[in-house]
A and B are shown apart, each in its own frame.
Chain A
């Protein structure tokens, strides 16, 4: 296998080989490899094509900041694009593909774009996609835009399982490098509940890649020891593979844990879990990311960050090349050369832009005060050319342009970073409340300093949280000084020099953006796309800003940065959805008769969270309306039953309950006699109708209110508002009893006869003893407590019977059994809707948040006796307009004509426009009783226009026909049936 490219040591398990494929080619790596390290061990440097120019690209980094090596992974017959090879943990059978090329990766047909590059500079889309119009659909979108890009989406639904969760801690530590681990053990020893997260699968951060000395141990041994200690502590939760992606208000953080991405078969376990972390304090120990330097052809495969070379050689034991050079502007590049040589790699040159550095490595050519101006090689770097003309043959080049502290999370609450003139990087400015920053994330690069600072900050946090602190631990460690001399762009480079490799932004684009007037960093970003997409410019942004600063002759801190926003690294939409997908999108509620309805073939409809029976098809009924027509007819001729449990039920108790209701409803309730029910209309303060229902009085201090299904929660909230905030001196108490009672409407001429069969004998429910709008606490079926209301939504003689929910299933079965002799029919929400339209009752379509009591024809109901919600505002002149909209009924002149809800009304002979619009149709239904369509709707001055013919106009469906304005009470306008 790839033995030649493996070095000694490393934090991989060489006893555990792993097979994987890249573009179909079989390869092998080891447990502990990332896809990137395994590819490099297989001598695979060319792994991707660039976004715009389709340039050959290689692996550039060793972490989540990777701009180039984006691949598509195929798992469980599903492909996921744009994953960074540098963070993908190798597993047996892993299947990866390169993306954004036509033909093979090696011979991308789209590479022609590279030669067209003079035409594809910054703002290309904005300048090109202008005219002619038809080119949008034929050329620009499908051809030009498709030529640029990242991987493509699998159009199938994501088969993975995702979940969410909640975590609590005193201290959240972000990053488990040296600072994070030391902070965790310090805080835990002082008794804090600690949560420490790291995006890597291996904890330890750069200690796994750099040989350092801590407490007399090698850094790798020290990490092992420390993690062993932390794992034993009960107050520490260590989470690897967990990216803290955002800092939100009040100490809340978002974190994404990759649970099974590294496992071949997840066995149905979640792939990822999105955690919401509640912390009292947080310590950002996210470390720093190395940045490159912009010079000619700096994007070739084989050119990597210098620290990444060190990681591959040390952590993954991969030999990155046969002839390696390092180009640096600080001491860290020398360190790389030293480490690589120690590991047995051939380092041919160190090019240092600083003239007067004392760094020296025996046997390695050093070029001090020199820079790289260009490179050669198409699919892999072949040579570098220096500014003095020297050409050096290499197959690998490490670049070190300095380090950028990972300050992202400090900026998520709008904190602005500050420029450090010594280390030449942005360091945290104002942090979110409760957050401190330690280690390299705070701009410190010597291990010894990092440790001291971390301990001091952790102690301060313990004190802030009132934990008594023990004496601070003393830890000795090695140290280094970067001694950086900034170099952003090698000005002598004539060839294109990349700033942002992911978006193919070159130095030229930044100059051009400036020339064309896009001078703020935010404009620069939008115009050139610098710093966009998956890496969000983690190592490119600063170079772009620095060049911008140079052009504008301003210091970098005056140019500033763009705003960092969550997420820190990309999160799949599946993780944000969590388990809330498909039928689990939201919870569902079942009515007490649900099981019975299912057994009886009901078709269900979602009403809010409720599942309600919509209709009950019987044998031979193939069309929904057949069932609905039958349900209506049988109910109107004999008796029907409908589950109305979903209506909001609120028990209202207290000495002032009556007066409270007087003020809540537009109409009077205080004088409602005990044992009676009344229809009530609720207004908003602005006089608009918003809910209606019935309220029954069971005793002096006890009322039972019903609300519409849709507004149950809203009404309760509103009642609590008035109870606690406005009339807070009232003795009134509310309790939602919606789920407590199973309630059924029993409607039709035989409803009383049916109920008499189950109501216990001591309760007389005859018309005399229990007239229309009566209510009573009774017992049924030998002593089961029940509430009986004589109310009717259908317009028939009707009752609503409520029993405790536990008896609901049994009650529907008993009613159906007892009703056999009357051919009792269950009916669903459709029949309910038809009957209420036949009767002219307003419902949700009529109470649409735009209509007043006056519009509904209930203007006279509004109380003039006392202050109630909405009555003063409904006295505004506009509400009392005689010519205002009124709710009336409509019949088609051609009786076979189907009416359409949403159609607008116009007087005959008028044009159909906004000025002549007179109203609209709110609800329509086919009335099986009248045998034609009927509708309810609002029309100007409607109640005085009964008999008039107007046009019903639906321009969307091109349906225009004549309708007649009629009374909304299509059936039994005198209400004789319901009083029977």
Chain B
């Protein structure tokens, strides 16, 4: 019985997994099931670091990386996050989603975003 219940839960979870649509900047609206969620778009800001063959990373260097890895904002409202179009064009996207309403206000290709940042 317990097993059956667990399986039923799996069916319900699978079906309800992602009832969302992501408006891909190139391909148009696609079912969110084609995408994989990664997390906060702050992950784009990976600290630069040059290792030293003779000594450990300094505490400050480690601290910077530690913050990059573990510290996240958890806003109630607009949130920029990374999604990957795995079952599609394999693009990484920055999606601006309101965590309260689930409304998606902006979808950008990471590549384009970074190009603009450089220029």
Q: Which A residues fall within an 8 A CB radius of B?
A: 164, 248-252, 254, 274, 276, 278, 433, 573, 576-578, 580, 685-686, 713, 717, 720-721, 724-726, 728, 863-867, 871-873, 875-876
Q: For residue B36, which residues in chain A have a CB less than 8 angstroms away from its CB?
A: 717
Please determine whether A249 and B20 come into contact, CB atoms closer than 8 angstroms: yes
Please determine whether B90 and A864 come into contact, CB atoms closer than 8 angstroms: no
- Which secondary structure dominates where chain A touches chain B? mixed
Q: For residue B20, which residues in chain A have a CB less than 8 angstroms away from its CB?
A: 248-250, 252
Please determine whether B104 and A726 come into contact, CB atoms closer than 8 angstroms: no
Q: For residue A721, which residues in chain B have a CB less than 8 angstroms away from its CB?
A: 38, 82, 84, 92
Residue B26 CB within 8 A of the other chain: no
Q: For residue A274, which residues in chain B have a CB less than 8 angstroms away from its CB?
A: 15
Q: For residue B57, which residues in chain A have a CB less than 8 angstroms away from its CB?
A: 872, 875
Q: How far is the CB of B32 from chain A (nearest CB, A)?
A: 8
Known: A249-B102, A871-B51, A876-B62. 8 other contacts (CB 8 A): A249-B20, A252-B19, A717-B36, A717-B86, A864-B51, A867-B49, A873-B65, A875-B56
Could you list 10 examples of A-B contacts with CB < 8 Å? A685-B65, A713-B86, A725-B82, A725-B92, A725-B114, A728-B114, A863-B51, A865-B51, A872-B65, A876-B62
Known: A249-B102, A686-B69, A863-B51. A728 touches B111 (CB 8 A): yes
Given B31, B46, B50, B62, which contacts A875 in the complex, CB threshold below 8 Å? B62
Given B15, B48, B56, which contacts A867 in the complex, CB threshold below 8 Å? B48
Q: Give the 9 A-B residue pairs with the shortest CB-CB distance, closest first.
A: A248-B19, A250-B21, A577-B11, A864-B53, A576-B11, A724-B92, A252-B19, A249-B102, A573-B8
Known: A725-B43, A873-B69. A580 touches B111 (CB 8 A): no
Task: Please measure, in the bound complex, the distance between the C-alpha atom of A252 and the C-alpha atom of B51, giving whole angstroms.
Answer: 50
Q: How far is the CB of A671 from chain B (nearest CB, A)?
A: 15
Q: What does the 1/0 interface line of B49-75 toward A look like (CB < 8 Å)?
A: 111110011000110011011000000
Known: A250-B21, A728-B111. A720 touches B11 (CB 8 A): no
Report the count of interface residues on B (CB-CB < 8 A). 42
Q: For residue B14, which residues in chain A have a CB less than 8 angstroms away from its CB?
A: 580
Task: Please measure, in the bound complex, the distance between the C-alpha atom of A248 and the C-alpha atom of B46, giving whole angstroms.
Answer: 35
Residue B99 CB within 8 A of the other chain: no
Please determine whether A576 and B103 come into contact, CB atoms closer than 8 angstroms: no
Task: Please measure, in the bound complex, the distance between the C-alpha atom of A576 and the C-alpha atom of B9, giving whole angstroms.
Answer: 10
Given B12, B62, B82, which contacts A576 in the complex, CB threshold below 8 Å? B12
Task: Please measure, in the bound complex, the distance between the C-alpha atom of A278 and the C-alpha atom of B57, giving whole angstroms.
Answer: 52
Given B44, B90, B102, which contacts A725 in the complex, CB threshold below 8 Å? B44
Q: For residue B15, which residues in chain A have a CB less than 8 angstroms away from its CB?
A: 164, 274, 576, 578
Q: For residue B11, which residues in chain A have a CB less than 8 angstroms away from its CB?
A: 573, 576-577, 580
Q: How far is the CB of B99 from chain A (nearest CB, A)?
A: 12
Q: For residue B103, which residues in chain A have a CB less than 8 angstroms away from its CB?
A: 433
Q: What does the 1/0 interface line of B75-119 toward A look like (CB < 8 Å)?
A: 000000010101000111000000000111000001100110000
Q: For residue B102, which residues in chain A have a CB less than 8 angstroms away from its CB?
A: 249-250
Q: How far is the CB of A382 from chain B (nearest CB, A)?
A: 44
Q: What does the 1/0 interface line of B22-45 toward A look like (CB < 8 Å)?
A: 000000010100001010000110
Q: For residue A686, which residues in chain B have a CB less than 8 angstroms away from its CB?
A: 69
Q: For residue A876, which residues in chain B have a CB less than 8 angstroms away from its CB?
A: 62
Please determine whether A252 and B21 come into contact, CB atoms closer than 8 angstroms: yes
Q: For residue A685, which residues in chain B have a CB less than 8 angstroms away from its CB?
A: 65, 68-69
Q: Which B residues fall within an 8 A CB radius of A?
A: 8, 11-12, 14-15, 19-21, 29, 31, 36, 38, 43-44, 46, 48-53, 56-57, 61-62, 65-66, 68-69, 82, 84, 86, 90-92, 102-104, 110-111, 114-115
Q: How far is the CB of B6 from chain A (nearest CB, A)?
A: 12
Please determine whether A728 and B110 come into contact, CB atoms closer than 8 angstroms: yes
Please determine whether A720 and B90 come into contact, CB atoms closer than 8 angstroms: yes
Please determine whether B50 and A867 come into contact, CB atoms closer than 8 angstroms: yes
Q: How far is the CB of A663 from chain B (nearest CB, A)?
A: 11
Q: How far is the CB of B85 from chain A (nearest CB, A)?
A: 10
Q: How far is the CB of A538 from chain B (nearest CB, A)?
A: 22
Task: Please measure, in the bound complex, the distance between the C-alpha atom of A269 and the C-alpha atom of B50, giving whole angstroms.
Answer: 64
Kindly report which residue of chain B lies nearest to residue A868, judged by CB atoms.
B51
Kindly report which residue of chain B lies nearest to residue A581, judged by CB atoms.
B11
Kindly report which residue of chain A lies nearest to residue B118, judged by CB atoms.
A729
Query: B49, B104, B115: which has the most chain A beta carbons within 10 Å?
Result: B49
Q: For residue B56, which residues in chain A have a CB less than 8 angstroms away from its CB?
A: 875
Please determine whether B61 and A872 come into contact, CB atoms closer than 8 angstroms: yes
Q: How far is the CB of B100 from chain A (nearest CB, A)?
A: 9
Please determine whether B51 and A872 come into contact, CB atoms closer than 8 angstroms: yes
Q: For residue A871, which residues in chain B have a CB less than 8 angstroms away from its CB?
A: 51
Task: Please measure, in the bound complex, the distance between the C-alpha atom of A248 and the C-alpha atom of B11, giving whole angstroms.
Answer: 17
Query: B29, B61, B90: which has the most chain A beta carbons within 10 Å?
Result: B90
Query: A252, A578, A685, A872: which has the most chain B beta carbons within 10 Å?
Result: A872
Q: For residue A725, which residues in chain B have a CB less than 8 angstroms away from its CB?
A: 43-44, 82, 92, 110, 114
Please determine whether B62 and A249 come into contact, CB atoms closer than 8 angstroms: no
Task: Please measure, in the bound complex, the distance between the C-alpha atom of A726 and the C-alpha atom of B38, giving whole angstroms.
Answer: 14
Q: How far is the CB of B2 from chain A (nearest CB, A)?
A: 14
Please determine whether A720 and B44 come into contact, CB atoms closer than 8 angstroms: no
Q: How far is the CB of A50 from chain B (nearest CB, A)?
A: 26
Please determine whether B8 and A865 come into contact, CB atoms closer than 8 angstroms: no
Q: For residue A717, which residues in chain B have a CB less than 8 angstroms away from its CB?
A: 36, 84, 86
Task: Please measure, in the bound complex, the distance between the C-alpha atom of A13 and the C-alpha atom of B14, giving whole angstroms.
Answer: 42
Q: For residue A577, which residues in chain B have a CB less than 8 angstroms away from its CB?
A: 11
Please determine whether A872 and B49 come into contact, CB atoms closer than 8 angstroms: yes
Task: Please measure, in the bound complex, the distance between the C-alpha atom of A535 and the C-alpha atom of B66, giving whole angstroms.
Answer: 52
Kindly report which residue of chain A lies nearest to residue B49, judged by CB atoms.
A867
Known: A728-B111, A872-B57. A249 touches B21 (CB 8 A): yes
Q: For residue B90, which residues in chain A have a CB less than 8 angstroms away from its CB?
A: 720
Q: How far is the CB of B44 from chain A (nearest CB, A)?
A: 5
Q: For residue B111, which residues in chain A have a CB less than 8 angstroms away from its CB?
A: 724, 728
Q: For residue B84, which residues in chain A have a CB less than 8 angstroms away from its CB?
A: 717, 720-721
Q: How far is the CB of B40 from chain A (nearest CB, A)?
A: 12
Q: For residue A249, which residues in chain B have a CB less than 8 angstroms away from its CB?
A: 19-21, 102
Kindly report which residue of chain A lies nearest to residue B84, judged by CB atoms.
A717
Task: Please measure, in the bound complex, the distance between the C-alpha atom of A813 and the C-alpha atom of B65, giving whole angstroms.
Answer: 53
Kindly report which residue of chain B lies nearest to residue A714, judged by CB atoms.
B36
Q: How far is the CB of A82 from chain B (nearest CB, A)?
A: 15
Q: For residue A867, which residues in chain B have a CB less than 8 angstroms away from its CB?
A: 48-51
Q: How far is the CB of B65 from chain A (nearest CB, A)?
A: 5
Task: Please measure, in the bound complex, the distance between the C-alpha atom of A252 and the C-alpha atom of B19, giving whole angstroms.
Answer: 6
Q: How far is the CB of A572 from chain B (nearest CB, A)?
A: 10
Please determine whether A873 and B46 come into contact, CB atoms closer than 8 angstroms: no
